Amino acid sequence: MSYTSRLTKAIIDLDALVKNYQYISNLSSNSDTIAVIKADAYGHDASKVAQALSSKVNLLAVAFIDEALALRADGIETKVLVLEGPFKESDLELALENNFALMLHSDYQIDWLKSMSPEFSGDIWLKVDTGMNRLGFQVEQVDNVMSQLSAKQIKNLVLCSHFATADQIDCERPVKQLKKLKVLVKKYGCKFSMANSAGILNWPESHGHYNRLGLALYGASPIGESRKSRPLIPAMTLQANIIAIHTVKVGESVGYGNIWQAQRDTRLATVAIGYADGYPRNAKSGTPVYINGSLAPLVGRVSMDMITVDITDLKHTTIGDTVELWGKNLNIDIVAQNSDTINYELLTRVSKRVPRLFVS
């Protein structure tokens, strides 16, 4: 272990991850629940997460093959689904060698597939665009794509699509998207996969042979403060410590710019975390942090390495005390709302500079 002087860290509760996985997979016991660990497992460390889940999970998913290869380099042997498929023709050979399933979404990828000899014998998923208009074959193209695959390739094929609005319970769009995919599934008698976290929680009818569990695995809610997501346990707790305390008079400001003025004589704590660590620079004055059992408001601008917090009402708080930015005691959604972003972005942007401490 290298020397660490600063105490800022992201504590990753691997036991919470396993519990979240079990809770969600029990909601759809007829489906195989894929653990989506792209983007370094949403900032939680993909290899550590894969290891923790290895006895429970049949299939992992990442965005592109580099992420899949990194798992193999760390000794992870579970099958990996590559959600954006091959970026290069040579990815197909690597997929075969490493037991990666490939999601194919475009004609150029089908061309690469067909030019392989002997024929590509790995798992193929076909991505169908049912209305998100981002990735996938149009419904009308699927016949043509199928006609280019061998009987053997079609036998294990999974038809797959992605929801644009699964978080919105009173929206018609998910129903329409699902209907489009199910028509194809019936026609070809294939396996299918539609649901992401919000789909699993909000749209039971979308549970397929495979569901793709991302955000909820990490204990964050894809659907706001719904009762359904409440048993989820936040897997990441982001912490930093107070490194200075200052008292300022009414009317004074703090940090860069002039965005906050003291309305009273104020005791300010300077905390060793900033936007270079992934704490959002957008966080408004008033965004809560958690210190010694209470909430205290962020004041002034978030700097690269520091933030400042009004601790006037927290009498016993001193230098060295631990501050939670989000996690078990402070819902990440509150920080996201105060920063004009979403929990997904906050989790994935915790930077390399922040050591992860794994507990279970």
The residues carrying an active-site annotation are 38, 256
Scanning 10-18, 174-182, 214-222, 352-360 for contacts with ligand PLP by CB under 6 A, the matching segment is: 214-222
Q: How far is the CB of 135 from ligand PLP (least distance, A)?
A: 8
**Per-residue x/- marks for ligand PLP, 284-303, CB under 6 A?**
--------------------
Note the residue count of the chain.
360
CB 356 within 8 A of CB 48: yes
Q: Which of 126, 173, 196 is nearest to 154 (CA)?
A: 126
161 binds ligand PLP (CB under 6 A): no
213 binds ligand PLP (CB under 6 A): yes
Cα–Cα dist 354/358, whole Å? 13
Positions in 51-90 near ligand PLP (CB under 6 A): 83
* 162 part of the interface to ligand PLP, by CB under 6 A: yes
Residue from 31, 33, 197, 270 binding ligand PLP (CB under 6 A) = 197
Helical segments of 150-298, H only? 151-155, 173-188, 197-202
Distance of closest approach, residue 37 Cβ to ligand PLP, in angstroms: 10
Place of tokens 């053997």: 152
Binding window for ligand PLP (CB under 6 A); candidates: 47-55, 179-187, 206-214, 259-267 = 206-214
Task: Confirm or reject binding of residue 36 to ligand PLP (CB under 6 A).
Answer: yes
Per CB under 6 A, the segment of 89-97, 195-203, 239-247, 253-261 that binds ligand PLP is 195-203
Site size toward ligand PLP, by CB under 6 A: 12
CB of 125 to ligand PLP, least distance (A): 10
* Number of neighbours of residue 338 by Cβ within 10 angstroms: 18
Piece of 49-57, 212-220, 292-300, 305-313 that binds ligand PLP (CB under 6 A): 212-220
Candidates 48, 105, 207, 212: give the one binding ligand PLP (CB under 6 A). 212
Which of 222, 234, 278, 288 lies at the binding interface for ligand PLP (CB under 6 A)? Answer: 222
CB of 330 to ligand PLP, least distance (A): 21
Our finding on whether 266 is near ligand PLP (CB under 6 A) is no
Alpha carbon separation from 233 to 14, 24, 218, 294 (Å, rounded): 10, 12, 8, 20
Q: Which of 214, 219, 234, 280 binds ligand PLP (CB under 6 A)?
A: 214
Residue 219 touches ligand PLP, criterion: CB under 6 A? no
Select the residue interacting with ligand PLP from 215, 254, 269, 336 (CB under 6 A).
215
Q: Which residue from 134, 50, 48, 35 is spatially nearest to 84, judged by alpha carbons?
A: 134
Give the pair of three-digit tokens for residue 31.
């489906």
Minimal CB distance residue for ligand PLP: 214
- What sign for the dihedral angle of Cα 76, 79, 84, 90? positive
Tokens representing residue 6 in the block: 């600063």
Please return the burial class of 284, using the count of CB atoms within 10 Å of its CB with bins 0-12, 13-18 and 19+: middle
* 267 in contact with ligand PLP (CB under 6 A): no
Select the span of 69-77, 209-217, 286-294, 314-322 touching ligand PLP (CB under 6 A): 209-217
Q: Is 196 left (phi over 0), alpha (psi -120 to 50) or beta?
A: beta
Exposure b/e, 79-116, CB count within 10 A at least 16 = b: bbbbbbbbeeeebbebbeebebbbbbbbeebbebbeee
Distance (Å, whole) CA 4 – CA 8 = 9
Which residues lie near ligand PLP (CB under 6 A)? 36, 38, 83, 162, 196-198, 212-215, 222
